[in-house]
């Protein structure tokens, strides 16, 4: 059949426009397109210059988006392929050891390091002494003073490096800079002593350099003096060149008495009509002296305190310079002291060299010292308790006491054998007869002279990390608490400085001494409770609480 032919028609656009639309069409045709902005032009140029996506590029992008292709473990070992990390958890799922985190951005690190509600991994690790510079630790009292007054500079500051350099070369600095050291602000003087105790040598401080550092304005022009000094950190600085006797001399300034005495020589408490009479001789009794109106005798010298605002003193780590006799003499000038550190002081004794010396008599052998060699084994703390009682009578304003590393803690609450329970003496005395009361305790009175003490540090100075010895010990409260504490805090950087097994005794002896410290702390708190005194916080240096 013949193929059918379809006619083709040329389509033409209509040229007829309605008169009502004629004006709008002319306006649209006459308007020009708006120019492109700079950003639009830049985006257009980037699209034009970008290369076209190839098949290989599309595969790479798809592989990155979809993730790395997984291979079975058997094939991975045969092909020696690297292990693939586990996929990250998808957002929104719950954690294994906690609930879903709160929505929003993460909290700043500075907030988490100081927040008590932050997780353990985000908290700032705490050190035992608060201020650690990597080389060592400042004493406990220096850290407490720094928390309140901010005397120690940051570890990465310029002041820290300057004070550290001064302490390392203190002998040269004290000689060549002796005219400028007195001009240091009192805050830097307090920090300077702390840096000397940490970075300086054992015998770097002597009486001359100590006097140079705290000269007054009358001696050196522009000196800051010592009136505003509140804390003296002499931890580890006591030596043969600067002993407790030198410190006692440093606390008092003499030499003013001669001028005052000469100016007051003509003064008298007697009536004016008796000034021309001869001085009255010494009479037999005070009554006769009062009736005769004897002249008042002025002291030959007057002493003025150099540190009138001194309230904190650290004498820790005295070494061979420790002397309880000199400390008792020094304590008479420490009436206003509120914080005292006697860390690592030896057993209180006025005759330490006579502990092993005895005198053989006809009927018995008598020890020449106040404490004999076997006083610890006999549990005889009579001399130590007596010395502490005398010390407490002179330091009646104490509120903070540091006894870290001391092995004579029993002397704090030791009583005569006639009083089996010293903390019950107040209750016994309340119902006992007036003539049948037990004798007073030879140790310090925790409701009398030391009634204001609110903090005692009984830390042994180190913590055993031998977990095997602790596990082999019999079950007890202290070993269990120590094991739990080691699991939680044993890996922290601030704790590594006190962990170790190189102490003078092992873990078993450490636990026994810790039990003694617990009993002493309990006795102090019981004495306060019976006497109605303030609550005393006992710090054992770690997380264990009685």
Task: Using the CB atoms, write b or e for 462-475: b if 16+ within 10 Å.
Answer: bbbbbeebbeeeee
**Structural fold of domain 140-255+305-351+380-412:** 3.80.10
Per-residue model confidence (pLDDT) at position 431: 46
**Extents of the domains making up the chain:** 140-255+305-351+380-412, 465-546
Per-residue model confidence (pLDDT) at position 209: 92
Per-residue model confidence (pLDDT) at position 105: 79
The number of C-alpha atoms within 13 Å of 29 and in the hemisphere containing its C-beta is 6
Per-residue model confidence (pLDDT) at position 127: 41
Query: pLDDT of 419-468, one tens digit each?
Result: 655 444 444 444 444 444 445 678 899 999 999 999 999 999 888 888 88
| CB of 400 closer than 8 Å to CB of 339 | yes
Per-residue model confidence (pLDDT) at position 500: 64
Query: pLDDT of 198-226, one tens digit each?
Result: 999 888 999 999 999 999 888 888 888 88
Closest CA to 371 of 405, 328, 403, 410: 410
- Specify whether the backbone of 104 is left (phi greater than 0), alpha (psi in -120 to 50) or beta: left
Who contacts 187 (Cβ-Cβ below 8 Å, separation ≥6)?
Answer: 149, 151
What is the chain's alpha carbon radius of gyration, rounded to the nearest angstrom? 41
Instruction: Using the structure block, give the residue that is written with the tokens 């026994």.
Output: 512
Strands 455-457 and 400-402: parallel
Rounded to 10°, the helix 324-331/244-251 angle is: 10
| CB of 147 closer than 8 Å to CB of 154 | no
Closest CA to 164 of 122, 140, 135: 135
> Where do the H-state alpha helices sit in 222-323?
244-251, 257-263, 286-292
Who contacts 347 (Cβ-Cβ below 8 Å, separation ≥6)?
Answer: 371, 384, 407, 408, 411
Per-residue model confidence (pLDDT) at position 379: 81
Residues of the chain with pLDDT under 70: 1-3, 5, 7-33, 53, 61-70, 84-102, 113-116, 118-136, 254-303, 416-440, 490-497, 500-505, 543-546
Can you spell out the DSSP letters for 99-120? -PPPSSSPPPHHHHHH-TTS-T
């Amino acid at each position: 059949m013949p193929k059918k032919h379809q006619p083709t028609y040329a389509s033409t656009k209509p040229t007829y426009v309605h008169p009502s639309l004629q004006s709008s069409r002319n306006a649209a045709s006459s308007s020009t397109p708006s120019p492109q902005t700079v950003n639009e032009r830049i985006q257009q140029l980037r699209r034009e210059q970008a290369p076209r996506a190839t098949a290989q590029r599309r595969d790479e992008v798809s592989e990155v988006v979809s993730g790395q292709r997984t291979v079975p473990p058997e094939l991975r070992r045969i092909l020696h392929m690297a292990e693939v990390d586990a996929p990250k958890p998808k957002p929104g799922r719950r954690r294994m050891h906690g609930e879903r985190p709160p929505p929003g951005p993460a909290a700043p690190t500075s907030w988490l390091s100081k927040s008590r509600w932050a997780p353990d991994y985000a908290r700032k690790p705490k050190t035992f002494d608060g201020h650690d510079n990597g080389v060592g630790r400042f004493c406990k009292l220096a850290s407490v003073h720094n928390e309140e007054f901010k005397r120690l500079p940051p570890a990465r500051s310029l002041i820290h490096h300057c004070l550290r350099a001064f302490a390392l070369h203190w002998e040269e600095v004290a000689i060549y800079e002796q005219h400028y050291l007195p001009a240091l602000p009192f805050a830097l003087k307090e920090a300077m002593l702390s840096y000397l105790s940490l970075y300086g040598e054992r015998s770097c401080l002597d009486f001359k350099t100590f006097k140079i550092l705290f000269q007054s304005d009358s001696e050196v022009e522009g000196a800051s003096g010592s009136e505003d000094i509140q804390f003296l950190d002499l931890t580890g600085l006591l030596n043969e060149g600067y002993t407790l006797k030198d410190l006692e001399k440093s606390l008092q300034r003499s030499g003013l008495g001669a001028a005052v005495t000469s100016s007051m020589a003509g003064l008298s408490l007697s009536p004016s009509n008796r000034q021309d009479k001869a001085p009255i001789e010494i009479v037999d009794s005070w009554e006769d002296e009062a009736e005769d109106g004897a002249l008042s005798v002025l002291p030959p010298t007057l002493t003025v305190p150099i540190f009138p605002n001194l309230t904190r003193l650290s004498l820790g780590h005295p070494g061979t310079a420790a002397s309880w006799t000199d400390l008792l003499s020094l304590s008479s000038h420490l009436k206003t002291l509120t914080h005292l550190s006697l860390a690592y002081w030896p057993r209180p004794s006025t005759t330490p060299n006579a502990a092993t010396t005895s005198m053989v008599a006809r009927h018995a052998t008598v020890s020449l010292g106040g404490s004999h060699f076997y006083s610890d084994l006999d549990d005889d703390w009579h001399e130590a308790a007596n010395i502490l009682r005398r010390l407490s009578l002179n330091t009646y304003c104490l509120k903070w006491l540091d006894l870290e590393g001391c092995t004579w803690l029993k002397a704090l609450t030791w009583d005569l054998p006639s009083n089996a329970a010293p903390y019950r003496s107040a209750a016994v005395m309340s119902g006992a007869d007036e003539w049948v009361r037990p004798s007073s305790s030879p140790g310090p009175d925790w409701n009398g002279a030391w009634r204001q003490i609110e903090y005692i540090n009984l830390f042994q100075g180190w913590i055993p990390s031998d977990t095997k010895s602790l596990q082999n010990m019999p079950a007890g409260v202290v070993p269990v608490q120590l094991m739990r504490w080691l699991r939680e805090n044993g890996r922290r950087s601030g704790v590594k400085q006190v962990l170790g097994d190189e102490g003078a005794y092992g873990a078993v002896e450490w636990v026994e001494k810790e039990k003694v410290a617990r009993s002493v702390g309990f006795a102090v708190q019981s004495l306060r409770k019976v006497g109605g005194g303030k609550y005393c916080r006992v710090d054992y240096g770690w997380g264990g609480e009685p």
